[in-house]
Structure 1
Amino acid sequence: MQTTVDLSELVSAVGDAVVVSDVNGAITLWNKAAERMFGYTEAEALGKSLDIMIPERLRQRHWEGYDKTMGTGVTRYGTEVLQVPAVDKAGRSFSIAFTVALLHSADNKVSGIAAVIRDDTRWFEKDRAQRKRISELESQANPASKSAVLN
C-alpha cells in the first residue's frame, strides 16, 4: 500500500527546522521548528535574509560560499552534516548542525537551497568539555612532554 505524503504537512510536522532560501539568500520557507529554534515567526522570517540566523562575524564567509554555490550549482555539503554557530532573535549564540540540498527550477538552474537544521548546542558543549578533560588528563599523565613543548 502506497502512502501519499503531503509535503507541506511533513515540513510542518518534523521536529527539525526546515529553512528554504532563494538564490539571493531570502527566506522563502520557515517551519514551526525554525520558529522555536530562532525565535522569529514565519511572518517575520519570510523574505528576510539568512543573516537573521548567521552571527555577524561569519556572514562574509557564509555569503562567499553561498554565492559560489548559487553560481556554480555545486556544493560540497550535499551529504555532509555541517556544524556552525547560529544566533536567534534575542541575540543568543548557539550551535547548529544541518544538511543542505540544492533546489532547481524547471530549466535545471539552481533556484535556492533547503536546509534541515537541529540545535546541536548540548552535543557541542559536551564534546568541548570532553576534549578539555582529555587534554587535562594528558597533561597530568605526561608533564615532561608539556614542559618540552613549552621550551
Structure 2
Amino acid sequence: MQANVDFKQLVEGAGDAIMVCDAMGAITLWNRAAERIFGFGEGEALGQSLDLIIPQRQRQRHWEGYHKTMETGVTRYGADLLRVPALHKDGRTLSIAFTVSMLFSADREVTGIVAIVRDETARFDEERKLRARLVEVEATMIREGDSR
C-alpha cells in the first residue's frame, strides 16, 4: 500500500528545521521551522552558503567534514546526533542537534545533503546550570567535610 503524502506539506509542517544543501554547501530548501530557529527567512537563506548559520570558529572544521562527506557519500550522522553551536540572525549563539541524509542522483552521484535540525539551546542552558549547581554542592560538601 502506497501512502499519498504531500511532501511539501510534510516539510513545511515539521517542527524541526529541514534544510537541503547542494554538494557545494549552498542552501536549496529552508522550511518554516528553519526560519523560526535561525531567524532568516527563506528568501534570505536560499542560495546562501551554510556559513550563514555556522560560527566563524567552526567553519574550517565544518567544511572539511562537509567536503569529505560529499566526496565519499558517507556520513556518520545519519542516525547519530551531531550537537554543535550555530548562529541566529540576530548574532546570538544557538545550540543545535541534527542528523543528515545524503541525496544521490540516479547514477549514485552525491547531489547534496538534508539536515533535520532541532534547537536545543534551552536544554543545553539548563544542563549547564545543573552542572554548575552540582559543582557548588560538591564544593560545599568538601568544605564541610574538611572543617569537621
Where does residue 148 of structure 1 map in the other structure? none
How far residue 84 of structure 1 moved from its aligned partner, in angstroms, is: 1.0
Q: Partners in 2 of 1:100 and 1:139 — Cα distance? A: 41
Coordinate RMSD, CA, aligned:
1.9
Note the C-alpha offset of 1:143.
Answer: 4.2
For the residues of structure 2 that align with 1:116 and 1:52, how far apart are their CA atoms? 17
Structure 1 partner of 2:4: 4
Matched, 1:37 2:56: no
Match of 1:74, SS? coil
Change (3 A) 1:30 1:136: same
The AA in structure 1 aligned to 2:134 is I
Report what 1:134 is aligned to.
134
Mapping of residues 53-68 of structure 1, within 5 Å:
53-68=53-68
Task: Show the 5 A alignment for 1:63-142.
Answer: 63-142=63-142
**1:142 partner SS:** helix
Task: Return the alpha-carbon distance in structure 2 between the equivalents of residues 2 and 66 of structure 1.
Answer: 34
Between the aligned partners of 1:2 and 1:100, the Cα distance in structure 2 is 25
For 1:77 and 1:117, the matched residues in 2 are separated by 12
Residues 36-83 of structure 1, C-alpha deviations (whole Å, 9 max, x = no match): 111211111111000001111111110011011111111111101121
Which moved further from structure 2: 20-29 or 105-114?
Answer: 105-114
3-state DSSP of counterpart to 1:85? strand
Q: Which residue identity does 1:8 align to in structure 2?
A: K
Q: Percent identity over the alignment?
A: 57
Q: 1: CA distance between counterparts of 2:144 and 2:68? A: 48
| Distance in 2, Cα, partners of 1:77 & 1:135 | 32
Q: CA–CA distance in 2 between the matches of 1:10 and 1:144?
A: 57
**CA 1:76 to 1:143, structure 2 compared with 1: closer, same or farther past 3 Å?**
farther
What letter is aligned with 2:120? D
* Structure 1: stretches of 5+ with no match in the other structure: 146-151
Q: How many residues align?
A: 146
Which deviates more from structure 2 when the two are superposed, residues 131-140 or residues 69-78?
A: 131-140
Residue of structure 1 in register with 2:13 after alignment: 13
